[in-house]
Amino acid sequence: MFSDSGCSNGYYHHQEGGAFPEHNSPRSPHRGRGRRRGRRGRSHDPSDAPAFGASRVADAERREEQKPPPCTDFDMAYFHSYAHLGIHEEMIKDRVRTDTYRAAIMRHQSSIAGKVVVDVGCGTGILSIFCAQAGAKRVYAVDASDIAVQANEVVKANNLSDTVIVLHGRVEDVEIDEEVDVIISEWMGYMLLYESMLGSVITARDRWLKPGGLILPSNATLYMAPVTHSDRYSDSIDFWRNVYGIDMSAMLPLAKQCAFEEPCIETISGENVLTWPHVVKHVDCYTVTLGELESVTTRYKFKSMMRESSNNQSADVSQRKKRANPSEALVLSTAPEDPPTHWQQTMVFFYDPIDLEQDQLIDGSLTLTQSRENRRFMNIHLEYTSGGRSFVKESVMR
């Protein structure tokens, strides 16, 4: 989330590429052992730090199937939005995203070849096809959006109809009459948890995954840090101070509200980040539950590595080391210091700039809550104290 002008700072969220054990079809009868049940919905293919790792013995308590949420009008609108080809084009053209998933599949080819896979939110079917190319015995490609119709045609065009079975419906509603060895899904949304698609992965896991099965990605981590972005403040706010020689300062309150009321999805660089990041939430895809995603709260304390004021800006660049990856897991990262992705970074701006000295402490709390109106929306409550001043910012990510 972040602020503005020469002394702008705020916060950003980034999902670190999940670790990869690591981060619909025509209305004709479905082949194989899968079939629809109930109404249509979708487990999509849109998209923070997922990692692609190793399989794990399933926890007995986790295996108890949790009751999935009903399909609401908001869900149907969400599924309908993913019928638009442009969304899938953007995701597929994100080479960081798509190449990492393909690399994860090939790294785990020994766990996929000859096995049964379910692709949660298959979209155009590209991940399902990658799994088929890796030797999967059978792939259930599940999607509630009408893009599944085109996915089925793509499967046919690549002569994979005997391997890839497209199921047009929600993971919560379709039936697969066998356990699966592998679950793959590109479920990450902006700020990792936006859109709440992870819930569909949890449902698939609890319904079908064999004990010891593989989930790709296996885990994901959401980070936050204060950042500075003086150019953004200047472009959106200071612009109104002098417009063609006319004083339009009266527009400033409205300009701030319009520019900064809701979270912004933008790309920043590592140079914008003022401190080491803080872990907001680590998601273990083998054990995470639907309940723990309803609300996430963390307390944080940062120590600025940069001085921010309206007159100057300096940073101890020697401290800007890249985060280590001790496990050498395959990681899909959306961090500012890494190559950009279509997820970019999610930022919450304060309405006015905040001066910050080097080594100044910043502490507070952050709560992310699924909206009661629409669980795919995210309520953001940020509390921030620094230099004897306290701030509260509330936003809704719609």
Picking from 159, 161, 166, 114, the residue whose alpha carbon sits closest to that of residue 140 is 166
Told to judge if 195 belongs to the known catalytic residues of this protein, a careful annotator would answer yes
Q: Phi then psi for 181, rounded to 5 degrees?
A: -90, -25
Q: For residue 217, say if its preceding peptide bond is cis, omega within 30 degrees of 0.
A: yes
Q: Are strands 34-35 and 175-176 parallel, antiparallel or unpaired?
A: antiparallel
* Pure H helices in the chain: 73-81, 85-93, 95-107, 109-112, 126-133, 147-157, 198-208, 230-236, 252-260
Task: Give me the helix-helix angle, 147-157 and 85-93, nearest 10°.
Answer: 60
Told to judge if 337 belongs to the known catalytic residues of this protein, a careful annotator would answer no
* DSSP letters spanning 254-314: HHHHHHHSS-EEE---GGGB-S--EEEEEEETTT--SGGGSEEEEEEEEE-SEEE-SS-EE
Active-site choice (186, 292, 373, 383): 186
Active-site choice (195, 292, 373, 394): 195
* DSSP letters spanning 75-114: HHHHHHHTTSHHHHHHHHH-HHHHHHHHHHHHHTHHHHBT
Please give the positions annotated as active site: 186, 195
